[in-house]
Amino acid sequence: MRRREPEDRREQLLRAALAALSETGIEAFTFAEVARRADVSPALIVHYFGDRDTLIEATFRQLVERVTTRPIQALADGTSPEDRLRAFVLAHLNPGELTSEASRAWLSFWGLALHVPALARLQRVHQERMVSNLKHELRGLVQADQVTRIAETIAALIDGFWLRAALASAWRPDVQIPVDWIFEAIDRDLSAARLADSDRPSTQAEEQFQTVNPATGEVLATIRIDGQAEIDKAVARAAAAQRDWARTPGVERGRILNRAAQLLVANNDRLARLETEDTGKPIQETIAVDVLSGADCIEYFAGLARTISGEHMDLGSSAFGYTKREPLGVVAGIGAWNYPLQIACWKSAPALACGNAMLFKPAELTPLTAIELERIYLEAGLPEGLFQVVQGKAETGQMLSRHPGIAKISLTGEVGTGKKVMADAAATLKVVTLELGGKSALIVFEDADIDEAVSGALLANFYSAGEVCTNGTRVFVHRSIREAFLARLKARTEAMIIGDPLDPATHVGALISTAHMENVLGYIELGLQQGARLLTGGKRLTEGDLAKGAFVMPTIFTGCTDEMAIVREEIFGPVMSVLDFDDEAEVVARANASHLGLAAGIFTRDLARAHRVIGMLEAGTCWINSYNVTPIELPFGGNKQSGLGRENGKAAIEYFTQLKSVYVAMEPIDAPY
Ligand code: NAD
């Protein structure tokens, strides 16, 4: 054991003081209470801090530093003023930081600052620092006379949110509502007062971004951002190419798509490696799933292209009618970063098979493999302009959603992004397909094959380091088999190999970015604070080369309750919550108690129960005795706020075509005039 150094000791005492302030409040805040919590003598506290007021001030100073550190780091990471502004606000609302302890102590701090001049000063400095950081970023974004007003409003919203969290005494499940509201207010303000493009300081204009290997921190490429002019040009090229493509027979379209599928398969190893470098996912996954599932999808729609047809309606001897399925025109796909190439294929294959042109924007964290897909389509003989990759962040996505020349948007992303895209698309009444987030339930009944159920739970939580939208992160286990299930789950989780994603033996690679890792670690911290018990994992890994990347151990919580944030909110990382249940009706009600409804899975040997329960679950994509398998033949998508529309299967044809109804007269018109 290392001897405790004075700095460590000081930190330890301040932590104990913060805990005391948060739990017992200022009235009961005594040296004796802090000493008891730190397991030291009160004399030692006197030695370090002298008197009670100095200790209180030092505690609050440290709290202010803690609350400020993450947002300041976020400012350093962002590349554009808007990016930095959003990251700054989000870091202030970080669930791990906004814990009951920090926020309750914060409340005491504000109360005391009314009466104690030293604390009032500290508080003022903190406020000024926050507003000045906000103003700095806003100057590059909005008109000068609006900067102060907007900065003050954002600061007030953040403060209000903290105080509300403190009074609610915990991070409550409805927390997303105020967070969304704050961002909506910011978006409204920004769009009302936004500087004209020509007025933006040129040094602030973002023209490119870098994509980084999250396992090593190495920069993989610098990517040029497409702005309005590039998007306009791409839409015009796509529209010109689409006119001929719409007239090309389905069988011909299918042949070109088939060649593209074959080229993807032939390039599997190279593309899998590139995907692994860009995402941090293990090569054993990308080589077996990401590219091949994309190729499978293209092959499937290549086959369907020649079958797209309408109906004939018999209207008696005087007429008949028929319908035609026609393409929509130029459509856009916007992708998420967890399955970059697969998402690009899942969107482009049905779009092209149906005779549309597609502009595809990959997520800014993973821009590389979509570029390869564009090359492959061209090599396969797809006419130029029909599939074009555009690059950029939210602003570029927004240009697509708002563009009058684009007929449809298909987004894969977060629920909040889905709402924004839908609102933007409303101005030109675009068709919208949304594949959004989830917090799905996996139910293990007492008669399940336990080893199979454990396999399902592992796949449903730790595949792609948990960055899978359909993940069954709420694992409901019947109380009678809980112990046996947990014992096997723990053993198999602890045997997983975490490490270099390019090593074929690795099961769990890196998370997509250090910022996302911080968010995941914040949730883990929150789970512990809200009383969940850690069965295994719970930490970032930093041994050796892992320190350069965003590696988090597969983490399992037991003793979870339905109200906990880790059970209600999408974490999108390797964090599983195990919940106990006693009977079928109870578990169905609890599984359905979510505003999301992407997926669900059940494990049971009782077939009647399997179909009965699946029938009652509010989810778009379900599995019986399996999890996270997504054959292209089955339509894929979510219910409730997890999405709109479906990808894959024949169902996708409906979302990339429109019907034309034709009435054909077979007799002269009987005109009354
Ligand atoms: P995100 O919503 O942050 O970004 C998704 C894409 O939308 C990116 O390309 C981004 O640049 C773009 N974008 C962001 N704001 C936009 C705006 N205002 N207008 C237009 N485009 C905008 O999501 P993410 O972090 O990349 O991905 C993770 C999320 O995606 C998770 O919530 C996950 O559940 C979800 N997801 C869903 C599915 C599904 O099929 N249901 C699949 C994968 C991921």
Ordered mean pLDDT values, 10 residues apiece, the chain (673 residues): 59 87 82 89 88 86 79 73 83 73 80 84 80 82 86 87 71 63 81 70 69 97 95 96 98 98 98 98 98 98 98 97 98 98 98 98 98 97 97 97 98 97 97 98 98 98 98 98 98 98 98 96 94 97 96 98 96 98 98 98 98 98 98 98 98 98 96 93
Set 345, 354, 469, 622: catalytic member: 469
Q: Is 647 a catalytic residue?
A: yes
Ligand 1 centroid to 334 CA: how many Å? 8
Counting from 1 in the atom list of ligand 1, the atom nearest the Cα of 638 is 41
Residue 524, token pair as written in the block: 């883990």
| Six token digits for residue 65 | 């530093």
Please list, in sequence order, all residues whose beta carbon lies within 8 angstroms of the beta carbon of residue 3, skipping any fewer than 6 positions away: none
Is 297 part of the annotated catalytic residue set? no
Q: What is the pLDDT of residue 209?
A: 95
Chain segment 90-132, per-residue pLDDT in tens = 888 877 766 667 777 888 888 888 888 888 888 887 887 788 7
What is the rounded distance in angstroms from the CA atom of residue 104 to the CA atom of residue 415?
30
Contact status, residue 657 vs residue 645, Cβ threshold 8 Å: no
Q: Which of 82, 97, 275, 435 is catalytic?
A: 435
Residue nearest to atom 39 of ligand 1 (CA): 435
The type of residue at 436 is L
The Cα 527–Cα 560 span in angstroms is: 8
The pTM (predicted TM-score) of the whole model is 0.76
In this structure, the residue with its CA closest to atom 8 of ligand 1 is 363
**Does the Cβ of 436 fall within 6 Å of ligand 1?**
yes
Most informative mutation of 412, 434, 468 for ligand 1 (most atoms within 8 A of CB): 412
Name the residue of 461, 469, 655 whose CB sits within 8 Å of the most ligand 1 atoms, as the mutation to test its pocket. 469
- Which atom of ligand 1 is the closest one to the Cα of 647? 40
**Is the Cα dihedral 59, 64, 66, 69 positive or negative?**
negative
User: What's the burial of 173, exposed, middle or buried (CB within 10 Å: 0-12/13-18/19+)?
Assistant: middle
CA angle in degrees (0–180, nearest 5) for 567-77-424: 65
Judge if the beta carbon of residue 335 lies within 6 A of ligand 1.
yes
Residue 157, class by beta-carbon neighbours within 10 Å (0-12 exposed, 13-18 middle, 19+ buried)? buried
Give the distance, in angstroms, between the CA of residue 114 and the centroid of all CA atoms in the same chain. Answer: 40
CA distance 97 to 510: 23
Do the Cβ atoms of 107 and 166 come closer than 8 Å? Answer: yes
- Give the Cα separation of 340 and 366 in Å (integer): 6
DSSP-H helix ranges across 25-99: 31-38, 42-49, 52-77, 81-92
Rounded to whole angstroms, the Cα distance separating 302 from 259 reads 9
**Residue 430 appears among annotated catalytic residues:** no
Positive or negative, the CA dihedral 472, 474, 478, 481 is positive
278 burial level (CB within 10 Å; 0-12, 13-18, 19+): buried
Is beta strand 657-665 parallel, antiparallel or unpaired with respect to 319-327? antiparallel
Q: For residue 509, how far is its CA from the centre of ligand 1 (angstroms)?
A: 21
Residue nearest to atom 4 of ligand 1 (CA): 413
Extract the tokens encoding 602: 């059940």
Q: Work out whether strand 596-597 and strand 639-640 pair parallel, antiparallel, or are unpaired.
A: antiparallel
Distance of CA 112 to the CA centre of its chain: 39
- Tell me if residue 435 is catalytic: yes
Answer whether 206 contacts ligand 1 (Cβ < 6 A): no
Angstrom distance (rounded) from CA 336 to CA 314: 45
Contacts of 112 (CB under 8 A, 6+ apart): 26, 56, 60, 119
Question: Residue 620: CB within 6 Å of ligand 1?
Answer: no
**90, 226, 334: residue to mutate for ligand 1 pocket, most atoms within 8 A of CB:** 334
3-state helix, strand, coil in the chain (%, to 5): 55, 15, 30
DSSP string, 316-384: -TTEEEEEEEEE-SEEEEE--SSSHHHHHHHHHHHHHHTT-EEEEE--TT--HHHHHHHHHHHHHTPPT
- In 10 A of CB 585, how many CB atoms? 11
Atom of ligand 1 nearest to the CA of 364: 11
Q: Which residue out of 281, 347, 420, 439 is catalytically annotated? A: 347
Helices H / strands E in the chain, number of each: 25, 20
Q: Pick the closest to residue 325 from 355, 299, 359, 352 (CA basis).
A: 355
pLDDT of the residue at 200: 56
Rounded to 5 degrees, what are φ and ψ at 185?
A: -65, -40
Nearest CA to ligand 1 atom 23: 413
Q: In angstroms, rounded to a whole number, what is the distance separating the alpha carbons of residues 493 and 507?
A: 10
Q: What is the pLDDT of residues 2-60, one digit of tens each?
A: 444 566 788 889 888 888 888 888 878 888 888 888 889 888 888 888 888 888 888 88
Name the closest-CA residue to atom 34, ligand 1: 437
Contact in structure between 331 and 663 (CB atoms under 8 Å): no
Question: Which among 365, 399, 417, 646 is the best mutation to test ligand 1's pocket, defined by most ligand atoms within 8 Å of the CB?
Answer: 417
| Among candidate residues 660, 659, 667, the one with its CA nearest the CA of residue 316 | 667
Joined tokens for residue 282: 């293990």
CA 414–ligand 1 middle distance (angstroms): 5
